[in-house]
Amino acid sequence: MRFKNAFIYGMTAMLAVASTGCDNEFLETGPSTSISDELLFRTVSGAQNAINGVYNYMRLRGTDIEFSTILQYNNGFDIMAQDLIVRNSMGQMQVYYAYNTNPTRADGAMTSNVWAYYYTIINNVNIILDNIDRAEGSATQKNNIKGQAMAIRGWAYFYLVRFYQQTYSIAKEQPGVPYYAVGGTTEGKSREKVSVIYTNIVNDLKGAIDLLGGYSRNYKSQINLPVAQGILSEVYLTMEDWANAEAMAKAAKTNFPLMTETQFKSGFNDWTLGEWMWGVNQSSTQNFGNGSPFTLWANQTRGTRWTFDFLYVNDAFKNLFEAGDVRNQFWFRTDHGHWTSDKFREAQDDFFGDVVLMRSAEMYLIEAEALARQGKEADAKTVLWQLQDARKATRVNTTGNALVESILLERRKELYAEGKAWFDLKRTQKGFTRTGDHPAKVTIPARSWQFVLQIPVNEFNSNKNLVSSDQNPYDGVYQP
């Protein structure tokens, strides 16, 4: 893995994007052909430009509907579970469809895209962290930038270690991914243990929380204290550190009230809603066009705009929702013979909409699950019922393991197409069998290696500290 040239090219490109066709969300800079670390980080304003560039890369790395950024991955990896259907349309989305094009394989496009995306982000924030303390300017501003960079690094490694190894509870002593703590690395490293990766993730996020306490962000695209707490709550949930998951989720959701019925049904396209903790804005001058996640849904809400028209829901999933549930937004497409969802709809007057990355509803579910797994069932139900009441769903009144399973089902119903389903199956060590009208009725057993991406072929070619035995299996089941 050779990072230095990738940083100079990539960061220049990001800053050029930030200076072209931008609203006021990102500070402007002039494009150039090379930017030295010394010049870029001479002042806090230069470091601010760098962190803005990272945010731009996170959201605008590409406009490929199948994979490019977290916005596309959230749909894609939920599609690889059991509740969503891709209708074969124009050959699109096949990397996600029923594992029938081997999307996890080392020579496939999926793994090389995931690897490059997250490691480019990590390299860029590492360079910011390497240089920020020497920048001229306010200590408060430097801490704000450092806190965001640390949170982004922890967030990126959290995704990588889950993509490339089994879940923490059964694989903490197994190899995870190479870990880089400084930027501009020119020599690849070997795979670090999963437990070490998680320790570093937790330390980054706790450090970010310490630094971001007084930070008041300008836009919801930026990571502030509650977002860092929200990321850490999910990390703790995956580590099965229930007490800390409970505490972080409870803290994170403060001041983010659950959406009303009207707000929930408005199309998930407005990041000003109080429940949205973190999101991406689209505007007339900065939007994804046909690369928008909204283009996937077969709900025919794009007015005169063209849509891919091929994302549906399994009828077995649709049948899990009560008639009066606010989230029961499904209707049958007679032309294609499948149910679709109106959960995600672009703003009708503009043909674009904001994209959600984190909501307080997820924090309620993390807190409830963590409480239930600690045996605090009354408290777990109190938290869960707040969400269910807001969605006009019948209150769950189960106990023991059945209560945990009820909360996990509530996660599927509340968070579908928000990037949680695939990772939930991994962390809870559950397989699945597609039933109902899903056209690709496959069974993926618990702890299958098909839940884990293989390391890309290109990484083996460039990283001399990896050997063939470092590769993840493509098939079979992991035996802890």
pLDDT tens for 67-79 read 678 888 888 888 8
Q: Count up the domains in the chain and report the number.
A: 1
Domain holding 363, by residue range, is 4-262+357-458
User: Can you tell me whether residue 115 is helix, strand or coil?
Assistant: helix
C-alpha 215/C-alpha 20 separation (Å) is: 27
Express as a percent the part of the chain with pLDDT over 90.
70
The lowest-confidence range among 171-185, 187-201, 208-222, 301-315 is 301-315
Residue 256 within any structural domain of the chain: yes
pLDDT in the model for residue 88 = 66
pLDDT digits (tens, 9 = 90+) for 116-160: 999 999 999 999 999 999 999 999 999 999 999 999 999 999 999
Residue 290 within any structural domain of the chain: no
C-alpha 321/C-alpha 46 separation (Å) is: 50
Q: Which of 360, 363, 373 is nearest to 169 (CA)?
A: 373
CA distances from 384 to 86, 378, 379, 419 (A): 31, 10, 9, 20
Residue 391 within any structural domain of the chain: yes
Three state DSSP letters for 146-214: HHHHHHHHHHHHHHHHHHCCCCHHHHCCCECCCCCCCCCCCCCCCCCEHHHHHHHHHHHHHHHHHHCCC
pLDDT digits (tens, 9 = 90+) for 412-444: 999 999 999 999 999 999 999 999 999 888 899
Residue 198 within any structural domain of the chain: yes
Q: Which of 65, 79, 57, 228 is nearest to 154 (CA)?
A: 228
Instruction: Please name the amino acid found at residue 412.
Output: R
C-alpha 425/C-alpha 414 separation (Å) is: 15
Residue 250 within any structural domain of the chain: yes
Task: Give 111-114 contacts, CB < 8 A, sequence gap 24+.
Answer: 111/453, 111/454, 111/455, 111/456, 112/456, 112/457, 112/458, 113/67, 113/68, 114/67, 114/73, 114/159, 114/160, 114/163, 114/453
- Could you tell me the CATH number of the domain that includes residue 172? 1.25.40.390
The answer to whether residue 305 scores a pLDDT higher than 80 is: no
pTM: 0.92
CB 47 within 8 A of CB 132: yes
CB-count exposure of residue 186 (10 Å: 0-12, 13-18, 19+) = exposed
Residues in the chain: 480
The answer to whether residue 64 scores a pLDDT higher than 80 is: no
Exposure of 336 in the CB half-sphere (CA atoms within 13 A): 23
List the Cα angle 190/420/392 in 5-degree steps.
165
C-alpha 411/C-alpha 407 separation (Å) is: 6
CB 249 within 8 A of CB 366: yes
pLDDT in the model for residue 350 = 67
Residue 87 within any structural domain of the chain: yes
Residue 201 within any structural domain of the chain: yes
Residue 42 within any structural domain of the chain: yes
